[in-house]
Amino acid sequence: MNLPEAFEIKMKKLLGDGYEDYLKCFDEPRHFGLRVNTSKISAENFVKISPWPLKKVPWIHNGFYYDGEKYQPAKHPYYFAGLYYLQEPSAMTPADRLPVDPGDKVLDVCAAPGGKATELGARLNGTGLLAANDLSNSRAKGLLKNIELMGIGNVLVLSEEPGKLIPYFAEYFDKILIDAPCSGEGMFRKDRKMIRAWEEHGPEYFSKIQRSIITQAAQMLKPGGMILYSTCTFSPEENEQTIEYLLEQYPEFDVCEMDGYEGFSQGIPEVTVSADERLKRTVRIFPHRMNGEGHFLALLKKGSSKNTDDNSRRKSEDAAAKRNRKKLPGELEEFLSDIKREFDPERIDIRSDKVYYMPEGLPALNGVRFLRTGLLLGELKKKRFEPSQAFAMNLKKDEYPRILDLPVSDERVVKYLKGETLDVEDLVSAKDKGWYLVCTDGFPLGFGKLAGQVLKNKYLPGWRWQSA
């Protein structure tokens, strides 16, 4: 394995006698991971229906290894039902170790493509708010798809420079996750192209970005709130030294212990100027010590602060809550009346004929670039309401009265995912009509409109199954 000389020198100093073991891991196969979406199915129940052999990721409660050389979980209907997310095992750790509680307001600062945001959203389980941001608009579009695929509706998907969010969200969030852009040294084994990228933009380049992001995030965290900072690199400049910088700039922060695992390595205070012993509470993941790629994690808690403006924030929230108190269109009321779920009319927002169900307590966002606020319920079209793909994924089978539930082995499942019209005369009577929720093994895939025992396909074109 040809590694840059400067990188080799640094790693020998960092690992000492462990350096040779680190080099040996480059000859070992990579690890493929799958994280169960617990907002749709428990990890235990997924194991019972999994089409492939799974092996537990020992430090992640809903994480599993699978044989990525033999199986393709992304080409299975359960993937399209949002039952799992494909994610490298070490990358599951940051969202797992951030202690999210129901009702929390949570921000994922650099969220695309959504591996960590979707886990945070699953743990909120429809409560509170998940704000997922990515500066790249194109990457944010992929982030939005993954969030909707997982059935998460209490969302705000943004595409902004984090500093621009501070005036809107000053001391607003209970929990913040920062999976910071980094030099990617921990991914050299998984993706050899990362080595060339490292030679173009190394640790010094990224450490400046990371210091900016973490201090901006600090201003958006409530007193008593927590930040989980992570990278996929080994560089002290991007890891312990970034945390040292935060502690110097915001002394109200402290470093917290995380749930351990025998393969975790503690942080290294000696690589910093202050040699702050609290940095031992941070975690390093090395690929030669456990079955995952390289990562760094730091869990931080914010103490008291002088800068709070709860009154102005409440005003903005109150203004947002009053966005729409007019009577709802009859066709929308009729559709929602069939659903076994309570909808607060004051949280329903209609913009350009699109209907959204908004999270509670969302500030006014004039001037912010966003892709989605809340759950897109559907669209009003000439005195009729058409439910959205996102709404279908957010529903549970028992919440909607008209269901077409197909076994995963039924060839019509893949036909539906390809956008084809379905013959369903064996499932419905000649008089049945209207919107039906198509499921496989009880898990929603999308909507279709029934007429004459034929289902007109309404599966979102951009999501369709692509033949190999």
Catalytic annotation, residues: 232
Query: What is the layout of strands, in order, in the sheet containing 354-357?
Result: 348-351, 354-357, 375-381, 384-387
User: Which residue bears the tokens 């690890």?
Assistant: 31
Task: Tally Cβ neighbours within 10 Å of residue 17.
Answer: 7
Q: What's the 3-state SS for 287-354?
A: CCCCCCCCEEEEEEEECCCCCCCHHHHHHHHHHHHCCCCCCCCHHHHHHHHCCCCCCCHHHEEEECCE
- Are residues 389 and 445 in contact, defined by beta-carbon separation less than 8 angstroms? no
Q: What is the dihedral of CA 328, 329, 335, 341, to 10 degrees?
A: 0
Among candidate residues 98, 128, 223, 111, the one with its CA nearest the CA of residue 165: 111
Q: How far apart are CA 147 and CA 89, in angstroms?
A: 19
Tokens of 442: 């009880």
- Are residues 360 and 347 in contact, defined by beta-carbon separation less than 8 angstroms? yes
Q: How far apart are CA 129 and CA 193, in angstroms?
A: 36
Q: How far apart are CA 356 and CA 200, in angstroms?
A: 43
Q: What is the dihedral of CA 23, 237, 188, 264, to 10 degrees?
A: 60
Q: How far apart are CA 66 and CA 76, in angstroms?
A: 14
Q: How far apart are CA 118 and CA 147, in angstroms?
A: 6
One-letter amino acid at 338 equals D
Among candidate residues 72, 99, 102, 96, the one with its CA nearest the CA of residue 86: 72
Q: How far is the first Cα of the chain from the last one, in angstroms, to the nearest whole number?
A: 33
Residue 336 CA to chain centroid, in angstroms?
Answer: 27
- Are residues 155 and 210 in contact, defined by beta-carbon separation less than 8 angstroms? no
